[in-house]
Amino acid sequence: MLAKIKNAVDYINDSIKTKAKIGIVLGSGLNGLTKEMNIQKTLLYKEIPHFPVSTVAGHAGKLLAGNIHQVEVLVMQGRFHYYEGYDMKEITFPIRVMKALGIDTLILSNASGGVNPNYKVGDIVFITDHINFFPKHPLRGKNEQSLGLRFPDMSEVYSKDLIALAEQVARDNKIEYQKGVYAGTQGPAYETPAEYRMFHSLGSDCVGMSTVPEAIVARHSCMRCIAFSVITDMGVGKMAGTISHEEVLKAANEAEPKLSQLIKELILRISIHIK
């Protein structure tokens, strides 16, 4: 693992030489932020040693280096999923690489199904916690002490300080938002109505097929993490119905400008606090 991380880091440093402290992972249909970015260098995932390759529509498979509001950022345009056939260490390998590159704040985004009946399609949810339903754990196996503790504390995976900062940004920009718990599942099938009801009864507000492994590894790596979810379908209530990947992408694209504005302003305020 350590050798693979070094190989990837050396390649990226030779190509980009980034000094970014903020890393961003863009989920399904949430690529609009890249239009607000002054992109200085693009690397295809397939060019980076040991990086997996995105196989899902809506995930471009590019690592972008540049700046937003004159703040250096490193952006993953697309992520990897357990259902694609990758194991948990492969899925989270880019998070390890980001940490080794000097990233200390991670911003995650995803598209998810709503199981809280008070939600609606298009809502932006600030994830406050998660419930892990994945069949494997990204920290399973021998622990590399240099990467993190064997038994990391998970009482605050999603930074309360960053969430409070994001709430202030949302209020200042009149962006409506929800706060809730995200349930992470392996996919790739969407949940049945009974499963949606079960997830809600267990304490979750939305459900998706990503983010949780990345957030766990970020926490293991002592990175500050914040995650946003766009509700692209409802599994409960009057809006419940059939869903397709195309509909998920459409709903995410429609909500994306608000999320991009939110993340842009959040990046600026994070940079001020870092200074």
What is the per-residue pLDDT for 58? 53
Q: In the predicted model, what is the mean pLDDT of residues 251-274?
A: 84
Tell me what the pLDDT averaged over the chain comes to. Answer: 89
- The string of DSSP letters for the chain reads -HHHHHHHHHHHHHHT-----EEEEE-TT--GGGGGSEEEEEEEGGGSTT-----STT---EEEEEEETTEEEEEEES---GGGT--HHHHHHHHHHHHHHT--EEEEEEEEEE-STT--TT-EEEEEEEEE--SS-TT-SS--TTT--SS---TTSS-HHHHHHHHHHHHHTT---EEEEEEE---SSPPPHHHHHHHHHTT-SEEESSSHHHHHHHHHTT-EEEEEEEEEEESSSTT-----HHHHHHHHHHHHHHHHHHHHHHHHHHHHHH-
C-alpha distances out from residue 270 to 22, 79, 104, 116, Å: 9, 23, 11, 30
Residue 31 CA, chain-centre distance (Å), reads 12
Condensed to tens digits (0 to 9), the pLDDT of residues 213-258 reads: 999 999 999 999 999 999 988 876 545 556 666 766 676 677 778 8
Unique residue bearing structure tokens 């949302």: 170
Q: In the predicted model, what is the mean pLDDT of residues 125-148?
A: 95
55 burial via Cβ count (<10 Å: 0-12, 13-18, 19+): middle
Condensed to tens digits (0 to 9), the pLDDT of residues 52-72 reads: 887 665 556 899 999 998 899
% of the chain exceeding 70 in pLDDT: 90
> How far apart (Å, rounded) are the C-alpha atoms in residues 184 and 200?
13
What is the per-residue pLDDT for 121? 87
What is the per-residue pLDDT for 59? 53
> How far apart (Å, rounded) are the C-alpha atoms in residues 54 and 78?
7
Token pair of 149, please?
């503790």
Condensed to tens digits (0 to 9), the pLDDT of residues 15-64 reads: 988 889 999 998 766 677 888 889 999 999 999 999 988 766 555 689 99
User: Domains, the chain, ranges and CATH?
Assistant: 2-274 (3.40.50.1580)
Condensed to tens digits (0 to 9), the pLDDT of residues 161-205 reads: 999 999 999 999 999 999 999 999 998 998 888 999 999 999 999
Residue 212 has pLDDT above 90, yes or no: yes
What is the per-residue pLDDT for 164? 96
Residue 275 has pLDDT above 60, yes or no: no
**pTM greater than the 0.85 cutoff:** yes
What is the per-residue pLDDT for 241? 57
